[in-house]
Every structure is written in structure tokens, then in C-alpha cells.
Amino acid sequence: MAQIEKIEKDISDLKIKWSDGEESKFNYMWLRDNCPTAHDKDSHHRMFNILDVSKDLSIKDFKVDEAGSLQVQWSEGDHTSYYDPSWLRKNCYTLKNKSKYVSPYSLWNKDLKNEFDLICIEHDEILDTDEGLIKWLELLHHKGIAIVKNAPVEKKSAFPLLNRISHIRETFFKTPFEVINIPKPNNSAYTAHALRNHMDLPWFELPPGYQFLHCLVNSANGGDSSAVDGFAVAEYLKNNENEIFETLINIPLKFRDMDYTQESHRNFHAPAISLTKDGDFHDIRFSVATMDVLDCHPDVMEKVYKAHHRFGNLLHDEKFQVNFRLGPGDIYSFNNRRILHGRTAFDPNSGHRHLQGYYMDRDEIIGRLNYLKK
Ligand code: OGA
Ligand code: ZN
């Protein structure tokens, strides 16, 4: 553990030199805001209010005491703060900003098919062990896809498994939603038609982060599944066709819910690809079926359509796609804002096909994984 070797003070920061040669800057407002006494011990909510100090807050005195803690006496509020050096080092934003960002995502293409067993996991392993649950969550977070094998095939029987993670994201499609062909369908999923690669519900401000398609019966001819890693396609465009990539991240498209059973008109503008604060991929929004009449500026409509066209074609390119067939007891689980999914048409007269679908927010997957790994 590095020790504090030297401290210097300037008008807005303390500069710490550590015994291993690293240097950190700690801003006065930041230090005051993060005084260890600032938080309630039970709720962990901040009770101290930074708005109660003036913008000219400064330091009257500082030292490293016998216990090795940094003591800071503030210019106002008659308060002294005591910081553990290991806490300072762990939360040092100088070093954090110096380190290279490492993406949690492992991107994949058609070659995933060669190691398909690596993304398959036994239902009971998840239900019975934390190791199984962690493995499932890691697949969902890092690869964006996992197939749960040997789940029960009774209706609604995926709840105990999903509740190992957390609660469900409810929508008007109800939980589970029934993927079965019905007369006068309100959604093209509820037909026997092919579904081109798509995400579900892109017209929500926040489309569901994850989707779980639980196969109960799949005995009809056809109805094979597909998956494509939208982040991998985005990465390809970023590296090879940058103008198209820039259009996709910068110009919002419009999506709309056209469900005739709804007494609600939901729509949302968002770009086809959005990025995180680190420039990593955050979301893909792609669905030919529910893209609305676009209303982009006339000067950019041509390039928006060319970019959409190129992106859509790559999202169906066999170089990027894996094809597989769900069997009874499989749960096709995936990041709905990264992985595009589809199916081939099936013949409803040749047999029966029934999937039950569930959604969950991305926070639930990542939050649970963070907790279990801690
Ligand atoms: C859906 C869907 C896939 C399938 O319900 O949104 O994409 O295999 N279904 O039926
Ligand atoms: Zn779908």
C-alpha cells in the first residue's frame, strides 16, 4: 500500500505525492464533499450539503497525523476532516483518468457458432449455485447472449430462474408475453412470418435492457433463430466506414409503437448507435418494423437512409450472424439493446410453436453481477 510522501497546497487542490512515485490532485470541494462524516451510516446517503459552504471554500491547515490519515482543517464551518490514505488512493480521480479504458464487451461474429457450447448454461446450475448465476450474468454482460438449457417447459416456469437475478420489466405485452401465432396479430412476432433481425420496443425512451425467450414447444417446420452482435457491426463501421458510423451515432431516427390494442401513441427519437462516456458502445436501436416516418433535416435525409441501409444490411450479413434452433426448455437470453434477434418463418400447420418472453432492465443484470462479484 502506497503511503503519502509529500503534500502541496495550491489555490484549489491538495497535491499528494505517493511513496510509489504516483501523484494525485484532490480538489477542495471534492474533498469536503467526500468527508467520511458526510454520509449517514445506515442509508449511506450524503447528509452533508456542499451547497452550505461558499464557493471560496479553502484549507486552513493540513497534516498527516500519527495514524497516517490526512487531516484537513477547513476555512469555514469549523470542521476538520480525516481521510484514510487507502481510501484516497482507491478513489483518486487523477489515476483513474490516466488509466486506459477497458471495455467489458467481448464482441463476436459468425465464429461464435464454433464455440456455441460456451454460451450455453444449465438451468439447474443457475438455480442452485451462485457460480452458475455469476456465469450466466457474465455471459449476458460480456457477450450479450446466453442460452439456458434444460429449463422446465411448463407455462410461466422461467420466473424462479429470472428472479435469481431480480424483478421483471413490465410492459403492456404482459409477463410473460406469448410468442405464438394468433388471428389479427397486434405484433408481427405473433404471426408465423419470418422476423428479420431486430430489437424489441425501440420506441420506448428506455427499451428493455434484456430479453428472455423461453421455448416451450418448437415442433413446427421452420422458426429457427438468429442473433447478431450489433456492437461488433458498429465496431466494424467505426473502423472501416467512419462516415456511416458518424451518421449513425449523431443523427436521431424516430421509432413508433403501432399497436392497435393500445390507447396510447408512443414514439421516441434516438440515434441508431449511442456511446458511453468512455466512447464505448451503449445502445443499438434498430428495427425495420417499427421505424417511424423519419423527420430528419432535408440536408441529411439521403445520408441517414444510406447509413441505415448499410447498417441494416450488415446486421443481416452472414459474417456477423449465428443461426440456431431453440428446443423445448431453452431460454434464449440476450441484451436487447446490443444483440439483434430474428427467426425464420414457420409452418403453423406442421406442428406447434410457443415461446414465452420476459424483459429485464440492464441495471438489474449489472447491479446483481457487481454485488455477487464483490
Ligand atoms: C419477439 C421475437 C422471436 C421468435 O417475440 O420479439 O422476436 O423466435 N420472437 O419467435
Ligand atoms: Zn423480438
Tell me if 105 is assigned to some domain: no
Note the pLDDT tens digit of each residue in 109-162. Answer: 999 999 999 999 999 999 999 999 999 999 999 999 999 999 999 999 999 999
For residue 157, the tally of other CB atoms under 10 A from its CB is 17
Short-list 163, 156, 155, CA closest to 126: 163
Q: Which atom of ligand 1 is nearest to the CA of 353?
A: 10
304 and 339 share a domain? yes
218 and 248 share a domain? yes
167 and 244 share a domain? yes
pLDDT score of 284:
98
Alpha-carbon span 95 to 316, nearest angstrom: 42
pLDDT one digit per residue (tens) for the chain, 374 residues: 889 999 999 999 999 999 999 999 999 999 999 999 999 999 999 999 999 999 999 999 999 999 889 999 999 999 999 999 999 999 999 999 999 999 999 999 999 999 999 999 999 999 999 999 999 999 999 999 999 999 999 999 999 999 999 999 999 999 999 999 988 888 888 999 999 999 999 999 999 999 999 999 999 999 999 999 999 999 999 999 999 999 999 999 999 998 899 999 999 999 999 999 999 999 999 999 999 999 999 999 999 999 999 999 999 999 999 999 999 999 999 999 999 999 999 999 999 999 999 999 999 999 999 999 98
Listed as own residue / partner, the contacts of 366-369 with beta carbons closer than 8 Å and 24 or more positions apart are 366/141, 367/166, 368/133, 368/137, 368/165, 368/166, 369/134, 369/137, 369/138, 369/141
Q: Please, which residues have CB within 8 angstroms of residue 161's CB and are 6 or more apart in sequence?
A: 123, 126, 127, 148, 151, 331
For residue 102, the tally of other CB atoms under 10 A from its CB is 7
Alpha-carbon span 317 to 310, nearest angstrom: 10
317 and 357 share a domain? yes
End position of a domain, from candidates 70, 98, 126: 98
End position of a domain, from candidates 98, 120, 143: 98
Q: How many helices (DSSP H) and strands (DSSP E) are in the chain? A: 10, 22
Q: Output the average pLDDT for the chain.
A: 97
40 and 143 share a domain? no
Tell me if 147 is assigned to some domain: yes
pLDDT score of 237:
98
Note the pLDDT tens digit of each residue in 68-105. Answer: 899 999 999 999 999 999 999 999 999 999 999 999 99
Tell me if 104 is assigned to some domain: no
Short-list 120, 116, 340, CA closest to 227: 340
- Cα torsion 110, 212, 260, 290: sign: negative
45 and 114 share a domain? no
Count structural domains, the chain: 2
Domain range enclosing 90: 4-98
Q: Which atom of ligand 1 is nearest to the CA of 195?
A: 7
pLDDT score of 205:
98
Q: Which of 145, 178, 213 to mutate to test the pocket of ligand 1 (most atoms within 8 A of CB)?
A: 213
C-alpha dihedral (50, 55, 60, 63), degrees to nearest 10: 50
Cell of 85: 490514505
pLDDT score of 336:
98
- Residue 220 alpha carbon to ligand 2 centre in Å: 19
Tell me if 243 is assigned to some domain: yes
pLDDT score of 182:
86
Q: How deeply is 111 buried, as exposed, middle or buried, from its count of CB atoms within 10 A (0-12, 13-18, 19+)?
A: exposed
The CATH number of residue 167's host domain is 3.60.130.10
160 and 24 share a domain? no
Short-list 124, 119, 125, CA closest to 152: 124
pTM for this prediction:
0.95
CA-nearest residue for atom 9, ligand 1, is 189
CA-nearest residue for atom 2, ligand 1, is 189
140 and 38 share a domain? no
pLDDT score of 185:
85
Q: Which residues have any ligand 1 atom within 6 Å of their CB?
A: 179, 189, 195, 200, 213, 225, 341, 343, 355, 357
Alpha-carbon span 55 to 121, nearest angstrom: 55
Tell me if 186 is assigned to some domain: yes
pLDDT score of 74:
98
Tell me if 328 is assigned to some domain: yes
Q: Which atom of ligand 1 is nearest to the CA of 200?
A: 6
9 and 117 share a domain? no
End position of a domain, from candidates 75, 98, 121: 98
